[in-house]
Amino acid sequence: MADTIKGEELRARLLEKANSLPLRPGVYIMRDKNDKVIYVGKSRALKNRVSQYFHESAHHDEKTRRMVSNVYRFDYILTDTEIEALSLENSLIKQYTPKYNIKLKDSKSYPYIKITLNDPYPKITVTRRRLADGAKYFGPYSSISALYSILGTVQKSFGIASCNRTFPRDIGKERPCLNHHLGICSAPCTGEISSEEYRALFREVIAFLRGSFKECEQLLRERMEYASENLMFEAAAKYRDRIEALSKLWQRQKVVASPDTEQDVFALYTDELCSCISVFYIRGGVIADSEHFLYPAEQIVTEETMSAFLGELYNIREYVPREILLDFTLPDDELETLRAHIASKAGYKPEIRTPERGDRRKLCEMVYDNAKQQALLYKAQNEKDNKTLVKLASMLQLEVVPERIEAYDISNFGRDSITAGMIVAENAKLKKSDYRTFRIKTTDGIDDYGAMREALSRRLSHLADESFGAPPDLILLDGGKGHVSVIRELMDELGCDIPVYGMVKDDFHKTRALTDDENEISIAREQSVFMFIYKLQEEVHRYTITRMENAKSKTLKHSSLEKINGIGAIKAKALLAHFGSLAAVKQADREALLRAPGISAANADAIIEYFSERENGESGTS
């Protein structure tokens, strides 16, 4: 009864504060009893929107009721316009990652195709960093494998060089590669194609990447006809073959609209267990790409929150079509705010509509069916994963089903460079945002037990630290009884009581059993448990080794750059951060080097001279 009264008093207090808010645009920030931000929203009239949450008669869905029941207090920020409120909402969701908001995958992790149009001979590369450097970016792409497939097609179909050479600097230095002899590279390395001619190829590439097959085909046909009229039959044949190859590629896509159609089509499916937002990107009348965003039940996905989702999605999109179709409705004021927000990025207002009939309606229904199917697959996989965790808990005789599992491994590079890696699985799914690396500092020499103890000591001393995520229900170590014994002793000292087991490997380096400090427990008889533990063992090993190699590579790159006169540790770090790799620093010309932070003209000259001398020395070695 006391809890009920307290809850009613709290709701009354929150409603009183909400009723005092102004009828102005702004953002509201919901916090729980620990002062943690759990939800961020926006409204054109804060008073009306926020007060709706706390009215006793409010008819909320289950997800919203769950969120409201956890609100202890809220803050708000006034803005001048709804567009400002939408932008601020997106920024705060990124900053706080609230539990109940839907969130996009971090845009930094999406790959782009980059074309360096400022270079005399442009390059086409893959990058995950989009910079304001004058280059042309396409994407982001939802699938790295699909991206590399597109890149390969572009390079072969348009004769674009796939090597790491920089032109005109490297013209004539080496013989052309096999791709030139196969007729799939125009070989700028030979000097046979001028900068102007090579840049002209990229007009076709850009048209293709925009999805404008019609424009791309027209450009190629014009060149084929010009070559034919001027008796350049070999060149004309190449253009003919290029048109045929691209035509076949385009025909393999699912045609859903007329050839000049450019649309993004969104659908939302939601039920009591999960939600799925699906989007099909239609370019040139075909489905060029698709994405599916899946969210568990606790995250609030409604038509109301979709404007924030769409606003954030188009923040990271290089290209926005003139028409966006929705399978759901948005209020007119939300639509206008969203159009204006997108226009501030794209330079024009797209048409955003919810079609009620005709071909556009059929498109929306098709995307909705896909969203529903993805949600069904998601729920089926969740059910399968839950059964695996229940079996694992039974085999280990755990008191609770382990929702959060942390696995640890040790990797070393000599005696003085040791790394511990921590990976996380929540509800049997890898949660890469919670992965951690521990640089071992106090353990002397190669001592697996000591290194594991140091890593776990640092982790267990931060169990209440939310930046690490929730405390684990189960800890797995890449090791045997000795490792488990060391960590159990540590837990006794720290007053922790978390189940810990070692992953024992067979002669083929695959986990065959789990062990505490006394007994081995075979997992081979339960296939789903075996495969799950094997996946964790492989992942923690991969992650730890990768982080160790990255650290080793960074050290070697730094030391290489620090050999250059005038380049110390700080400038070496700045160069690598700016260019992304040592290879890119080597290939940079003087102008590009001068754009790097802290690099003077003397530094740029010293860098070019250093790598030029090394290259000449290597080419002169027999």
Question: pTM of the prediction?
Answer: 0.63
Q: Which of 12, 84, 15, 3 is nearest to 43 (CA)?
A: 84
CA distance 470 to 99: 13
pLDDT at 557: 57
The helix/strand/coil state of 546 is helix
- Does residue 210 surpass a pLDDT of 90? no
- Does residue 427 surpass a pLDDT of 60? yes
- Does residue 366 surpass a pLDDT of 60? yes
Percent of the chain with pLDDT over 90: 37
| Domain 2-101 annotated CATH 3.40.1440.10 | yes
Residue 133: pLDDT band (50, 70, 90) is confident
More confident residue, 98 or 510: 98
CATH 3.40.1440.10 domain locations along the chain: 2-101
pLDDT at 490: 95
pLDDT at 402: 96
pLDDT at 56: 77
Architecture label for domain 262-377: 2-Layer Sandwich (3.30)
CATH 3.30.420.340 domain locations along the chain: 404-553
- Average pLDDT score over residue span 589-595: 88
Structure tokens, 93: 């969701």
| Domain 562-619 annotated CATH 1.20.1250.20 | no
Mean pLDDT, the chain, rounded, equals 85
Percent of the chain with pLDDT over 70: 90
CA distance 130 to 107: 10
Range in 17-31, 526-540, 603-617 the model is least confident about: 603-617
Q: Which of 75, 66, 67 is nearest to 21 (CA)?
A: 75
CATH 3.30.420.10 domain locations along the chain: 262-377
CA distance 465 to 471: 9
- Average pLDDT score over residue span 430-459: 88
pLDDT at 466: 75
The helix/strand/coil state of 570 is helix
- Does residue 487 surpass a pLDDT of 70? yes
- Average pLDDT score over residue span 502-527: 87
- Does residue 452 surpass a pLDDT of 80? yes
CA distance 392 to 404: 13
pLDDT at 105: 63
pLDDT at 108: 52
pLDDT at 621: 38
pLDDT at 5: 43
In a 13 Å sphere around the CA of 432, the CA atoms on its Cβ side amount to 7
Structure tokens, 230: 């001027």
Most confident stretch, 68-77, 281-290, 373-382: 68-77
- Does residue 236 surpass a pLDDT of 90? no
- Average pLDDT score over residue span 222-249: 78
Q: Which residues contact 273 (CB under 8 A, 6 or more apart)?
A: 296, 297, 379, 382
CATH 1.10.150.20 domain locations along the chain: 562-619
The residue count of the chain comes to: 622
- Strands of 323-414 (E only): list them: 323-326, 351-353, 404-412
The helix/strand/coil state of 525 is coil
Range in 53-62, 138-147, 244-253 the model is least confident about: 244-253
pLDDT at 1: 40
More confident residue, 7 or 459: 459
| Domain 404-553 annotated CATH 3.40.50.2000 | no
352 near 396, Cβ under 8 Å? no
pLDDT in tens, 520-551: 999 988 999 999 999 999 999 999 998 887 77
